[in-house]
């Protein structure tokens, strides 16, 4: 059994249970489940339903409509929250329902769904039954609690929430597919029944409400209809909900992209909404004109720079806070156009940090100038110069008569090839490309124009040509703390094939793209692209079998944008800190924390008697420092070692580990 | 220390000049053959004299010396002479550290050698010799299998020394390593250089031994001083500066036949269990962390 086969419910049940999946419409079984639902406690009831039920189609189900809807406001289901726990624990973000800029948060989805079905009814009816459909025998106990809690809440909330809840449920096709179901059903990605009972989740909410409070929720999970509704209310861009969503990825936002552009363009001339340069950048993201981590980040920062330039502070507000709020609103807009990349997220964090650090005594114009120079410095140091350093390291690994392979189009890799060519090295390049974007073609054109001899192939043939390749150069959107590389979908495949052939894989990534998150699979955090892009085969209309895919309920298209490459397949990371093994990423991530607290730490060291140890945590919103006394908590002291980068001195040779010897 | 002597004798009046002089001296050291160097160096400088494979450790040591000595940023504010004497102090301290390193490593490795164990060593390494010496003097009972270490036949030298210590030694030809790996409990090797990935560059044959040991689940321990940590990152065997050593086959090699004369190979980190260094007992992935912290 793989990792995902051990969902939280297992712990409750205490053992491995065989799970049966029933794929397909389960309408026949629906009525049978009705009576079962209330009898929450009996595991045997679930035996009667032994096939694990996937969310049934949206057919009207009577019963605690209010109950299910009333639970909307409460926290997302236990199952999903487990995963969330895992994810958010690892996150530093202490984010909440508010749209505070968590770059990782995908935008709220759209409107009252384009789709026909009467979701409201469905939801109502599915209230209890959906819970009964819960595939896990182990959920039985939980269901008992849920039922009682739901009953309690039902009366209270019914009247008030029914109208809004219904609307929201109707609007979001996002069903709260429990993550447990998702995890156990991971093999069957393309689910038959699209958006289903959000009600399914409702049952599991109550027990988790408390748990949710403890976990800082950093990312918006689209399975959670309530949050989706809230977020949607604040959105600038109106999105139409996509149809036929893949179940496994229900927690990610998916849009019907085509409809937005004209709408947004018409709004362009309303200046009060948004600064024009930010608007422009958003549109460029939406249409795909700007893509690639560095390009998007630079475009965004330059737009912000202009926005700051034109910013004039209202009299009664404080510059820091007002400007931060403004930047946050810009960021939410950008998120709606296209989910943020990790590089963008890190740079936003940097910018907000700089804004909060502005001394209050500065005048408005001085502050603006300082911020603009900070932005310029960031772009220069972290991107432009970093790229140069990476290129200089990487060309040392290119020898004459090398055959270098690359996938897609990474800006750094292109620079490396250019520079190596200028240095006169003799090598040839194999460009591997994939649908739907064919990014490799742009790279190919540019390389050929420079006179580098190239071979072009699609990713299906990568194992065919790998035997003649000597080095693989890949770009990355980010590198996570456990050394996994988060990059364009298809990269993992190329890396694995290279590893199987014993070809070294060199991943080139600037250090500002590193992230402290840890991700084990490509599912929990990803970006869904436009499914129409897959269905369309350009230039060949005879191959348009998928033209009407949306109408077919049995068909779901999945266009994932990113995937992760485990660190075992990466031979070396080339960053502006030099050439590192993937295991060294956490050191860089820690090392790049703000150095401000360094002074504080050293200062505290010399306090007599009760020495206070300052622990500084990186969070999504700048640094938050807590004070704790050394005497009280050794654990915090240990924490200190990891959150603070001790200043270099003659002792630094002995590393952070030795800090314990103070 | 040659480089410390450079500082002492330098007539530079600013830090920058001094740094430049130091750099020039260390570059010269790296380029010259070790034989020339060892004549001029103080005997305390820990350089293996028998082959040029140590040039990596030499260059790594020089780099580290430079960093260690010039790292003190608060020197800027002091008068230059005071700064210079500080530097000399640090330079000599570095030399002491290097000497003590071997003793620290020997101490740390004692826990790994238990009574009745069989240790496989490869070629002649003074660090490993120190380790075994200490173990013998601690009255541990163990025996050593020593590879011949062609083409230098350093293995014979090693076994000589071990026998002198009263340790039971058995010499193997290099090809007999897999054959004898069953009876081996652990493998101890030295290193010429420890690279950023955590792998080691050592005498030719080390990679082979590590591969065999790994496939038979025997631990491979590398005993290396921390000044051998180098900022290199070989991707494969050929990705290093070549170091050749003529091989004497006893009979003249027929014309038209090429001979592979490389003197060292690279062992990737996945085949190494632990690195025993004066910084402590480390896993291979830590090497890069240390290097980053030093050079950041």
State which residues form the domain around B92: 1-34+49-101
pLDDT at B31: 61
Residue B94 shares a structural domain with residue B113 = no
Chain B neighbors of A648, CB-CB under 8 A: 71, 293, 296
Residue A366 shares a structural domain with residue A402 = no
Instruction: Please report, for the domain that includes residue B147, its CATH number.
Output: 3.40.50.10470
Of A578, A587, A650, the CB nearest to B72: A650
Whether B296 sits inside 8 A of A577 (CB atoms) is yes
How far from the centroid of its chain's Cα atoms is residue A558's Cα? 16
Confidence label for A386 from pLDDT (cuts 50, 70 and 90): very high
Distance CA A19, CA A21 (A): 6
Q: How far is CA A91 from CA A200, A215, A222, A469, in A?
A: 27, 10, 18, 38
pLDDT at A566: 95
Helical H segments across A483-525, by residue range:
491-500
Residue A341 has pLDDT above 50, yes or no: yes
Q: Is residue B39 part of a domain?
A: no
Chain A neighbors of B71, CB-CB under 8 A: 648-650, 652
Residue A409 shares a structural domain with residue A521 = yes
pLDDT at A23: 55
Confidence label for A346 from pLDDT (cuts 50, 70 and 90): very high
A93 has a chain B CB within 8 A of its CB: no
Tell me the pLDDT tens digit for each residue of B158-167.
999 999 999 9
Residue B182 shares a structural domain with residue B222 = yes
Q: Is residue A170 part of a domain?
A: no
More confident residue, A77 or A448: A448
8 A C-beta contact, residue A581 and residue B196? yes
Residue A463 shares a structural domain with residue A555 = yes
Of A579, A649, A655, the CB nearest to B289: A655
Tell me the pLDDT tens digit for each residue of A174-199.
344 444 434 434 344 443 333 333 33
Chain B neighbors of A579, CB-CB under 8 A: 196, 233
Q: Is residue A367 part of a domain?
A: yes
Tell me the pLDDT tens digit for each residue of A472-516.
999 999 999 999 999 999 999 999 999 999 999 999 999 999 998
Confidence label for A380 from pLDDT (cuts 50, 70 and 90): very high
8 A C-beta contact, residue A470 and residue A403? yes
pLDDT at B93: 77
State which residues form the domain around A441: 398-540+550-582
Of B233, B279, B296, the CB nearest to A572: B233
Of B233, B239, B292, the CB nearest to A577: B292
Residue B85 shares a structural domain with residue B128 = no
Whether B288 sits inside 8 A of A584 (CB atoms) is yes
Residues 631-650 of A with CB under 8 A from B: 648-650
Q: Is residue A340 part of a domain?
A: yes
More confident residue, B59 or B233: B233
Distance CA A598, CA A611 (A): 16
> What is this model's ipTM?
0.77
Whether B285 sits inside 8 A of A581 (CB atoms) is yes
Establish, for the pair of chains A and B, how many residue pairs have beta carbons separated by less than 8 Å. 69
| Interface-testing mutation among B290, B294, B295, with chain A (most A C-beta atoms within 10 A) | B290
Lowest mean pLDDT segment, chosen from A215-229, A535-549, B116-130:
A215-229
Residue B29 shares a structural domain with residue B95 = yes
**Number of domains comprising chain A:** 3
Residue A357 shares a structural domain with residue A462 = no
Q: Is residue B41 part of a domain?
A: no
Tell me the pLDDT tens digit for each residue of A437-472.
889 999 999 999 999 999 999 999 999 999 999 999
Question: Strands A402-407, A51-53: parallel, antiparallel or unpaired by DSSP?
Answer: unpaired
In the 8-state DSSP scheme, what is residue A553?
T
Mean residue pLDDT of chain A comes to 68
Residue A340 has pLDDT above 70, yes or no: yes
8 A C-beta contact, residue B205 and residue B147? yes
More confident residue, A439 or B17: A439
Chain A neighbors of B231, CB-CB under 8 A: 578
Residue B44 has pLDDT above 50, yes or no: no
Q: Is residue A321 part of a domain?
A: yes
Residue B205 shares a structural domain with residue B281 = yes
Residue A602 shares a structural domain with residue A576 = no
Tell me the pLDDT tens digit for each residue of A111-135.
444 444 444 444 444 444 444 444 4
Chain B neighbors of A572, CB-CB under 8 A: 197, 233, 235
Residue B118 shares a structural domain with residue B262 = yes
> Could you give the angle at the alpha carbon of B240 between the alpha carbons of A402 and B57, nearest 5°?
165
| CB environment A467-502: b (16+ within 10 A), e (fewer) | eebbbbbbbbbbbbbbbbbbbbbbbbbbbbbbbeee
Q: How far is CA A158 from CA A34, A65, A72, A166, in A?
A: 21, 9, 11, 11
Whether B279 sits inside 8 A of A654 (CB atoms) is yes
Residue A312 shares a structural domain with residue A347 = yes
Confidence label for B51 from pLDDT (cuts 50, 70 and 90): very low
Confidence label for B97 from pLDDT (cuts 50, 70 and 90): confident
**What is the rounded average pLDDT of the residues A274-295?**
86
Residue A400 structure tokens = 């004459």
pLDDT at A237: 55
Catalytic residue among B152, B192, B265, B278: B192
pLDDT at A241: 56
Task: Specify the residue for token string 């096709």.
Answer: A173
Whether A471 sits inside 8 A of B235 (CB atoms) is yes
Q: Is residue B40 part of a domain?
A: no
> Which of A565, A482, A488 minimizes the C-alpha distance to A521?
A565
Residue A382 has pLDDT above 60, yes or no: yes
Residue A412 shares a structural domain with residue A368 = no
Q: How many other C-beta atoms can be found within 10 angstroms of the C-beta atom of residue A632?
A: 12
**Number of domains comprising chain B:** 2
Domain final residue pick, A358, A383, A408? A383
Residue A581 structure tokens = 């093994």
**What is the rounded average pLDDT of the residues A149-159?**
71
Residue B262 shares a structural domain with residue B115 = yes
pLDDT at A18: 59
pLDDT at A176: 41
For chain A, percent of residues with pLDDT exceeding 70: 52
Q: How far is CA A65 from CA A39, A115, A129, A140, A169, in A?
A: 18, 21, 11, 21, 11
Confidence label for A99 from pLDDT (cuts 50, 70 and 90): very low
Domain final residue pick, A322, A356, A383? A383
Q: Is residue B196 part of a domain?
A: yes
Chain A neighbors of B197, CB-CB under 8 A: 571-572, 581
Residue B167 shares a structural domain with residue B197 = yes
Q: Which residues contact A597 (CB under 8 A, 6 or more apart)?
A: A614, A616, A623, A625, A644
| Interface-testing mutation among B75, B98, B286, B289, with chain A (most A C-beta atoms within 10 A) | B289
Chain B neighbors of A577, CB-CB under 8 A: 292, 296
Q: Is residue A182 part of a domain?
A: no
If phi > 0 it is left, if psi is from -120 to 50 it is alpha, else beta; for residue B250 that is left
Beta pairing partners, A219:
none
Distance CA A494, CA B129 (A): 45
pLDDT at A35: 43
Residue B150 has pLDDT above 80, yes or no: yes
8 A C-beta contact, residue A372 and residue A364? no
**What is the rounded average pLDDT of the residues A308-322?**
81
Instruction: Please report, for the domain that includes residue A456, its CATH number.
Output: 3.40.50.10470
Of B196, B198, B294, the CB nearest to A652: B294
Residue A629: phi and psi, rounded to 5, are: -85, 145
Residue B164 shares a structural domain with residue B239 = yes
Instruction: Please report, for the domain that includes residue A307, its CATH number.
Output: 1.20.120
3-class state of residue A225 by DSSP:
helix
Compare all CA atoms of chain B with the CA of A653 and give the residue at the minimum distance: B294
Q: Is residue B42 part of a domain?
A: no
pLDDT at A70: 42
Residue B56 shares a structural domain with residue B108 = no
Q: Is residue B19 part of a domain?
A: yes
Residues 415-444 of A with CB under 8 A from B: none
Residue B142 structure tokens = 């163990």
Residue A361 shares a structural domain with residue A247 = yes
Residue B146 shares a structural domain with residue B83 = no
Tell me the pLDDT tens digit for each residue of B256-276.
998 888 888 999 999 999 999
| Interface-testing mutation among A404, A473, A581, with chain B (most B C-beta atoms within 10 A) | A581
Strands of A78-192 (E only): list them. none
| Interface-testing mutation among A392, A570, A580, A584, with chain B (most B C-beta atoms within 10 A) | A584
Residue A362 shares a structural domain with residue A509 = no
> Which of A341, A332, A387, A398 minimizes the C-alpha distance to A100?
A332
Domain final residue pick, A383, A416, A447? A383
Strands of B110-150 (E only): list them. 117-121, 142-147
pLDDT at B241: 85
Tell me the pLDDT tens digit for each residue of A568-596.
999 999 999 899 999 989 888 887 764 33
Lowest mean pLDDT segment, chosen from A153-157, A307-311, B9-13, B38-42:
B38-42
B192 part of the active site: yes
Whether B288 sits inside 8 A of A580 (CB atoms) is yes
Whether B197 sits inside 8 A of A591 (CB atoms) is no
Residue A364 shares a structural domain with residue A428 = no
**A290-294, A333-337, A429-433 — which one is most confidently predicted on average?**
A429-433
Residue A239 shares a structural domain with residue A352 = yes
Whether B235 sits inside 8 A of A506 (CB atoms) is yes
Residue A233 shares a structural domain with residue A333 = yes
Of A506, A587, A650, the CB nearest to B289: A587
Residue B147 shares a structural domain with residue B171 = yes
A651 has a chain B CB within 8 A of its CB: no
Of A506, A648, A654, the CB nearest to B296: A648
**What is the rounded average pLDDT of the residues A296-314?**
90
């Amino acid at each position: 059994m793989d990792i995902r086969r051990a969902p939280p419910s297992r712990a409750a049940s205490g053992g491995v249970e065989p799970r049966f999946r029933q794929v397909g419409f389960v309408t026949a079984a629906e009525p049978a489940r009705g009576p079962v639902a209330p009898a929450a406690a009996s595991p045997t009831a679930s035996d009667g339903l032994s096939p694990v039920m996937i969310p049934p189609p949206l057919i009207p189900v009577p019963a605690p409509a209010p109950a299910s809807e009333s639970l909307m406001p409460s926290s997302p289901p236990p199952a999903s929250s487990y995963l969330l726990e895992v994810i958010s624990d690892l996150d530093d973000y202490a984010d909440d329902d508010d749209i505070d800029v968590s770059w990782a948060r995908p935008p709220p989805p759209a409107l009252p769904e384009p789709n026909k079905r009467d979701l409201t009814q469905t939801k109502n009816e599915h209230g209890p039954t959906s819970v009964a459909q819960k595939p896990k025998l182990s959920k039985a106990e939980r269901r008992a609690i849920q039922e009682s809690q739901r009953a309690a809440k039902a009366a209270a909330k019914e009247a008030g929430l029914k109208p809004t809840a219904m609307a929201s449920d109707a609007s979001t096709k996002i069903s709260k597919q429990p993550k447990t179901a998702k995890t156990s059903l991971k093999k069957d990605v393309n689910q038959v029944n699209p958006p289903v009972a959000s009600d399914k989740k409702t049952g599991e909410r109550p027990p988790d409400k408390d748990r949710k409070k403890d976990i800082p929720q950093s990312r918006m999970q689209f399975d959670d209809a309530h949050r989706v509704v809230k977020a949607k209310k604040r959105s600038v861009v109106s999105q139409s909900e996509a149809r036929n969503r893949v179940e496994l990825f229900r927690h990610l936002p998916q849009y019907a992209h085509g409809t937005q552009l004209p709408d947004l363009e018409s709004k362009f001339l309303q200046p009060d909404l948004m600064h024009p340069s930010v608007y422009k950048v958003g549109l460029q993201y939406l249409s795909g004109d700007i893509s690639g981590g560095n390009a998007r980040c630079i475009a965004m920062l330059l737009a912000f720079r202009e926005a700051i330039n034109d910013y004039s502070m209202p009299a009664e507000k404080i510059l820091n806070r007002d400007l931060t709020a403004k930047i946050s609103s810009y960021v939410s807009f950008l998120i709606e156009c296209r989910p943020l990349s990790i590089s963008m997220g890190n740079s936003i964090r940097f910018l907000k940090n700089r804004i909060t650090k502005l001394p209050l005594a500065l005048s408005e114009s001085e502050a603006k100038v300082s911020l603009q120079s900070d932005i310029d410095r960031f772009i220069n140091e972290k991107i432009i110069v970093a790229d140069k350093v990476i290129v200089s390291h990487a060309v040392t690994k290119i020898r004459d008569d090398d055959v270098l392979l690359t996938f897609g189009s990474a800006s750094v890799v292109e620079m490396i090839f250019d520079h190596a060519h200028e240095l006169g090295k003799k090598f040839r390049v194999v460009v591997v490309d994939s649908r739907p974007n064919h990014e490799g073609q742009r790279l190919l054109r540019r390389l050929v124009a420079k006179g580098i001899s190239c071979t072009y192939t699609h990713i299906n043939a990568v194992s065919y040509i790998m035997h003649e390749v000597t080095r693989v150069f890949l770009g990355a959107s980010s590198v996570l703390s456990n050394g996994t590389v988060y990059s364009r979908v298809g990269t993992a495949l190329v890396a694995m094939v290279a590893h199987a052939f014993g070809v070294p894989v060199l991943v080139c990534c600037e250090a500002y793209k590193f992230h402290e998150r840890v991700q084990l699979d490509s599912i929990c955090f990803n970006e869904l692209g436009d499914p129409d892009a897959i269905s369309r085969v350009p230039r060949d209309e005879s191959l348009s079998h998928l033209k009407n895919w949306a109408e077919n309920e049995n068909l779901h298209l999945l266009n994932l944008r990113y995937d992760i490459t485990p660190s075992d397949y990466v031979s070396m990371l080339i960053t502006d800190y030099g050439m590192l093994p993937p295991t060294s990423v956490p050191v860089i991530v820690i090392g790049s924390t703000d150095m401000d607290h360094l002074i504080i730490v050293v200062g505290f060291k010399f306090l007599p008697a009760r020495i206070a140890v300052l622990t500084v945590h990186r969070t999504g919103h700048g640094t938050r420092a807590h004070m704790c006394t050394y005497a009280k908590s050794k654990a915090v002291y240990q924490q200190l070692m990891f959150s603070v980068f001790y200043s270099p001195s003659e002792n630094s040779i002995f590393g952070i580990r030795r800090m314990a010897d103070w | 220390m040659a480089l410390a002597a450079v500082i002492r004798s330098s007539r530079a009046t600013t830090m920058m000049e001094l740094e430049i002089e130091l750099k020039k001296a260390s570059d010269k050291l790296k380029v010259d053959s070790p034989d020339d160097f060892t004549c001029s160096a103080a005997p305390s400088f820990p350089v293996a004299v028998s082959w040029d494979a140590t040039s990596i450790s030499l260059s790594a040591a020089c780099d580290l010396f430079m960093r260690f000595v010039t790292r003190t940023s608060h020197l800027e504010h002091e008068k230059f002479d005071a700064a210079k004497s500080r530097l000399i102090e640090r330079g000599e301290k570095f030399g002491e550290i290097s000497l003590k390193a071997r003793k620290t490593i020997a101490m740390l490795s004692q826990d790994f050698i238990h009574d009745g164990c069989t240790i496989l060593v490869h070629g002649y390494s003074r660090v490993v010799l120190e380790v075994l010496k200490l173990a013998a003097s601690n009255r541990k009972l163990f025996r050593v299998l020593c590879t011949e270490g062609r083409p230098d036949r350093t293995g014979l030298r090693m076994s000589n020394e071990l026998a002198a210590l009263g340790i039971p030694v058995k010499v193997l030809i290099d090809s007999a390593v897999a054959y004898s790996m069953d009876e081996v409990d652990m493998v101890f090797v030295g290193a010429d250089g420890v690279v950023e990935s955590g792998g080691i560059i050592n005498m030719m044959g080390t990679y082979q031994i590590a591969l065999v040991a790994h496939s038979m689940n025997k631990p491979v321990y590398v005993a290396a001083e921390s000044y051998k940590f180098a900022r290199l990152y070989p991707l494969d065997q050929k990705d290093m500066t070549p170091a050749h050593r003529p091989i004497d086959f006893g009979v003249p090699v027929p014309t038209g036949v090429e001979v592979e004369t490389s003197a060292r190979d690279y062992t990737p980190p996945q085949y190494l269990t632990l690195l025993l260094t004066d910084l402590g007992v480390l896993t291979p992935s830590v090497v890069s962390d240390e290097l980053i912290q030093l050079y950041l």
